Amino acid sequence: PARHQMCRLRAESARQGQSAFEGGSIFIDGSEKASLSSKLDPYSSQMRYYTADLHLGHENMIGICDRPHDSLESMEEAILDAWHRCLRPEDELYILGDLGGPSTHPDHIRPIIEKCPAAVRWIAGNHDKSSSERVLDEVADFLGDRVEIKTDRADPRDDHPVFLVLDHYPMAGWNRAFH
């Protein structure tokens, strides 16, 4: 099943002695704001995972998105179960918006994020309340609305650094798209 794919990818990468990206920097509005973990041991199993649209506390999402759960509690428990099966303390989880629903109070989200075994970094989505940043400050790193991550990898075609652009919304074009 798809929910086990994340774990299989972790195992495959660990067997090959690889991680997705081994360091780099976070850029917000073109300025370097933070360094990511230093270059990893090539045999480390640290991974960075990306997800979006958890919609914690938003029961209507079960029907709207045809999620296979009978209740909000079941949906949130399934998310926690997946995290605990796949994520490790040395990993990083990037949540690309919509941690909650339009009426979800950040106080509902906080205890769930606190249970995540990995470091959590997130960007805002259209359903995230403005108070979320303050309430989640001690349990997750808020990165803003859009963030660029400069990895320590180079494009083999031209040796330019590889950037990831993270946003809640799909993009037809982005900074450095042609590099």
Task: Please tell me the predicted confidence (pLDDT) of residue 20.
Answer: 40
Rounded to whole angstroms, the Cα distance separating 50 from 143 reads 14
Q: What pLDDT, in 10s, does the model give residues 98-130?
A: 999 888 888 999 999 999 999 999 999 998 877
Specify the range with the lowest mean pLDDT, choosing from 8-12, 66-70, 85-89, 122-126: 8-12
Q: Where are the beta strands (DSSP E) in the chain?
A: 25-28, 31-35, 48-51, 92-96, 119-123, 141-142, 146-154, 161-167
Task: Please tell me the predicted confidence (pLDDT) of residue 73.
Answer: 95
Higher pLDDT, residue 35 or 98: 98
Q: Do 47 and 117 meet the contact criterion of CB atoms below 8 Å apart?
A: no
Task: Please tell me the predicted confidence (pLDDT) of residue 122.
Answer: 93
Task: Please tell me the predicted confidence (pLDDT) of residue 106.
Answer: 87
Task: Please tell me the predicted confidence (pLDDT) of residue 108.
Answer: 92
Kindly report the pTM of this predicted structure.
Answer: 0.74
pLDDT band (50, 70, 90) for residue 19 = very low
Nearest C-alpha neighbor of 44 from the set 90, 92, 93? 90
Higher pLDDT, residue 56 or 5: 56
